[in-house]
Structure 1
Amino acid sequence: MPDTALLDQTRSLIRQARSIVVLSGAGMSAESGIATFRQASTGLWSRYSPQDLATPEAWRNDPALVWGWYLWRMAAVRAAQPNAGHLALAKAAENRPLVVVTQNVDDLHERAGSREVLHLHGELFAHRCFACARRCSEVPIPAVDDEPAHVDPPRCTHCGGRIRPGVVWFGENLPEAPFRAAVEASQSCDLMLVVGTAGVVHPAAALPSLARQHGASIVEINPQQTELSTLADVCLRGGAAQVLPKLFDASPEQLG
């Protein structure tokens, strides 16, 4: 747990800030039990190949493999619950301008109660047609299983194309509207909290530098040092579920 002086320094920055942006990454969802991609021993890419599962080419080659794997991920996300960090941010946003910019494709921020959430890498449950890009209604999610299975994806009711998950695959562009809004929020905020991200995936990793260039203070919340640590004004070594409730545990009057 970070020492009291660093926590107090961050609380002071929160009190002074007129606008806060939170950039959240995979580490935040990991505290709810959702596997990350890059962790060496347990990350999803230690067991599965990105080229086989997360590219447009993989979808064209074997859509049943890809869709089955994403159904498996959807089931795991549905079984997970928002952690104390998600809940603290949602509560904090009730009393101050606070935007969550997330690299995560899960819906844990929304289920915790956050209303202003920008998904830079898409949304796992925002299904759409691979052929015509029309949004699709909710699809049945199976119970969590030990391993993914081959499942034929459903068909679009408009054109008959295959329905795909709403995530950004390798080789695809970020969704334009959320990224543009994230850039604008980063340029106008007074404080950015960088939570649970290693700062290696671009262009999201450039947002803290952009915020800093426009005068914002940067606070990193992560158990480990990252590529963004040298940029931060304060580094709080701990997880989101541990640290965020302590930053926002004061009353609205105390926090301004």
Structure 2
Amino acid sequence: MQKIVILTGAGISAESGLGTFRAEGGLWAQHKIEDVATPEGFARNPKLVVDFYNARRAQTAEADPNAGHLALAKLEAEFAGEVVLITQNVDDLHEKAGSQKVIYMHGALKGALCAACDTRWPAPMVMAPGDACPNCDRPTARPDIVWFGEMPYDMDEIFDHLAGADLFASIGTSGNVYPAAGFVAEARRCGADTVEFNLEPSLVGSQFDDIRIGPATETLPPWVDEILKS
């Protein structure tokens, strides 16, 4: 086995305290998705959206990677072949754990984006509506987050990796958000073995060769050890 492609979702960060946005009292529960996670919502009320992501950025800054994140960083560091880590998450816990190469298909809280010229730069801890772009100086800064209705980042690169994968692993994803939900079918079509890690089978769980049920902190470390010893 030469290449492992891994997709992670909210489930891997839940045990670090970042999976609570939809829980009662959590950040997501206080807002409608169309108000804080769409271009239209940003156009209607940029302050609401910027404040929402400021709160998420502050929460993420206080979070620590868990054993699942650390196991994947270990796999990347010690596996003899190539490990490609793709995440639907916008936190930086994979990097905090030591992962060196992370593809953020939905953007990242640590980034800011100019809606006018597409320049990207590190976001301050607290952004404000009307922040100026450091390149064109227009007041068009926004969080560098892929909102509903926008195209995820690096899709050509991701599908190239899926085409070359010997093993595809999906961790903590629901299987109801495309295009990520279609990655397992693409990997299988290209000949990869597939495994899912989740608290329960996802909506596309039937497409995986192997499903391992349980918290990522408990299922990922032994799986990584299995691979490194094989």
> For residue 138 of structure 2, what is the aligned residue in structure 1?
160
TM-score using structure 1 length: 0.82
Question: CA 1:29/1:251 → structure 2, altered by over 3 Å: closer, same or farther?
Answer: closer
Letter matched to residue 218 of structure 2: Q
SS of 1:86's equivalent? helix
> For residue 99 of structure 1, what is the aligned residue in structure 2?
84
> For residue 193 of structure 1, what is the aligned residue in structure 2?
169
Shift of 1:124: 1.6
Contact 1:52 1:58 in 2 (8 A): yes
Deviations 1:130-166 (A, max 9, x none): 2222123441349xxxxxxxx5352223322232111
Where does structure 2 lack aligned partners over 5 or more consecutive residues?
none
Which one has a larger percent strand, Structure 1 or Structure 2?
2
> For residue 202 of structure 2, what is the aligned residue in structure 1?
226
Contact 1:127 1:164 in 2 (8 A): yes
Letter matched to residue 78 of structure 1: A
Matched, 1:47 2:47: no
Identity across the alignment (%): 40
Matched, 1:56 2:33: no
Contact 1:35 1:44 in 2 (8 A): no
In 1, distance between residues paired with 2:171 and 2:72?
A: 11
> For residue 9 of structure 2, what is the aligned residue in structure 1?
25
Question: CA 1:47/1:159 → structure 2, altered by over 3 Å: closer, same or farther?
Answer: same
The 5-angstrom pairing of residues 3-14 of structure 1 reads none
Letter matched to residue 186 of structure 2: L
Two-structure CA RMSD over aligned residues (Å): 2.0
> For residue 120 of structure 1, what is the aligned residue in structure 2?
105
Matched, 1:86 2:62: no
The 5-angstrom pairing of residues 116-155 of structure 1 reads 116-141=101-126, 151-155=128-132
In 2, distance between residues paired with 1:42 and 1:203?
A: 29
In 1, distance between residues paired with 2:19 and 2:227?
A: 34
Where does structure 1 lack aligned partners over 5 or more consecutive residues?
1-16, 143-150
> For residue 151 of structure 2, what is the aligned residue in structure 1?
173
Q: Work out the number of aligned pairs and report it.
A: 227
SS of 1:235's equivalent? strand
Consecutive aligned runs of 4 or more in structure 1 exceeding 6 Å deviation = none
Question: CA 1:160/1:174 → structure 2, altered by over 3 Å: closer, same or farther?
Answer: same
TM-score using structure 2 length: 0.91
